[in-house]
Amino acid sequence: MTLRVYNTLTRKKEEFVPIEPNKVKMYVCGPTVYNYIHIGNGRPVIFFDVVRRYLESQKYEVTYITNFTDVDDKMIRKAEEMGKTVPQLAETFIQAFLEDTRALGVNDATLNPRVTENIQEIIDFIAVLVDTDYAYESRGDVYYRTSKFADYGKLSHQNLEELQYGIRIEVDDRKENPQDFVLWKAAKPGEISWDSPWGQGRPGWHIECSAMVRKYLGETIDIHGGGQDLTFPHHECEIAQTEAVTGHPMANYWMHNAFLNIDNEKMSKSLNNGILIRELIKQTKPQVYRFFMLLAHYRSPLNFSDDSLTQAANGLERIQNAYDNLKHRLATASASPEGEVEVALKDSVAAIARHFDDKMNDDFNTPDAITAVFDLVAEANVYLTQERVSAAALQHFLDQLNAFDLVLGFLSQSANELLDEEIEQLIIERTESRKTKNWARADEIRDLLTEKGIFLEDTPQGIRWRRK
């Protein structure tokens, strides 16, 4: 099945055809680094990581860029509150972002460009817009002239008249038109700023992505992504800026994930119901949160609650236990020649793998792809009930689970690593205690290990352990 992607621009699923064969240029808008990221921020971070992983699994060479907005009004205010410079504040929260996203199993981007590293490119971009009359200077600010770009509103499917009367825009006598947006902001006294042809100032929000996409990926890219809230005005403005300069489409496919609600309410500052990722993963395994995020299609709203997280934890535990049991049985299984797997088993696993790919090819349908993972787990669990199993068959199951996880990224690969020396010795001692029928000591050791988060299972193949 050919990969089909829902394009926000056309509002339909389209066959994915990259600009260059076997290569994908992908840009996803990153955070403004003035605070720790919350669970709503985690949805695009996790989803687009899965998009990238799946494309790579299909042998595409993916250049994946997500930016850091490291200077804007919020950052200036936050830096003043914390008694830091804006660059100091940015560095603190960039490192925090990387820590949090890596904990969620998100692979590092190919590049994370920062606004402050690309000031000259941004100024040069604005200068072209001014020279071609798409932008104008007004009292040290520079604004984009939306009335000159005939396609303004094509991404959000609105026209200028609808925007003028349907959306509240603050009146500003520096603008020719209320819908015009700022490209360069004149600096206030004491603010961080840079020299420009229009005086001291700094970039507006929208222009940074246009300049960085063109610099690092070219005039037209394959995929531009982000949260639904970025469709308008951010991505709409990016299109207007970029296409006015290049004369080419900015991106061939625009992808947007839907919102995350908390207990059926929109996450907002007024409700004070935001949950920071770094706080959540102190209480819940990060793999559970990642798994939860993939249980709904990315274009569908997702509701976060304690119950939904518990259900996700239970589902993931089923998958993880099957994975760990396969590895445990493999250590004691009868040897089998390489590739000697029962034909029926091999055909069944292949059918499940095709189902997985079919669902991922259908606009990255992760919930149905996860159904395929559960189908594989069910097959594996049935096989594991057999008294005699072959190493080749066990490895075949493991290879397919690993292939799925290479895309979805929620399995813990470390569950069967060696314990530390103290716990190893306790397990050995417990085994000896059982041999000598010292049941009291054996039970005592089991309880001690349980306290340390190590659970033991006595199986015909020996002691099996897992982490809490």
- Residue 269, marked binder: yes
Q: What angle do CA 235, 238, 244 make, to 5 degrees?
A: 140
The one-letter amino acid at 68:
F
Is 196 within 8 Å of 160 (Cβ atoms)? no
- Residue 328, marked binder: no
Rounded CA-CA distance 391/268 in Å is 52
Q: For the purposes of burial, counting CB atoms within 10 Å of the CB of 456, is it exposed (0-12), middle (13-18) or buried (19 or more)?
A: middle
Instruction: Identify the residue whose tokens are 């260059």.
Output: 20
224: three-class secondary structure by DSSP: strand
Residue 114: both structure tokens together: 């920062």
Q: For the purposes of burial, counting CB atoms within 10 Å of the CB of 416, is it exposed (0-12), middle (13-18) or buried (19 or more)?
A: middle
The residues, any chain, with a CB within 8 Å of residue 195's CB and separated by 6 or more, are none
- Residue 237, marked binder: no
Q: What is the DSSP letter of 352?
A: H
Question: How many other C-beta atoms can be found within 10 angstroms of the C-beta atom of residue 435?
Answer: 9
Give the start-end residues of each E strand in 79-220: 135-138, 141-144, 181-186, 201-203
Residue 97's closest CA among 83, 76, 85, 114?
Answer: 114
19: three-class secondary structure by DSSP: coil
The one-letter amino acid at 310:
T
Is 240 within 8 Å of 44 (Cβ atoms)? no
Polymer length of the chain: 468
Helices then strands (H, E): number in the chain? 15, 15
CA-CA distances (angstroms) from residue 192 to 85, 273, 312, 390, 460? Answer: 9, 32, 45, 66, 68
Please give the annotated binding residues, written as ranges. 29, 209, 234, 238, 269
Binding residues for ATP: 269
Which residues contribute to the annotated binding site for Zn(2+)?
29, 209, 234, 238
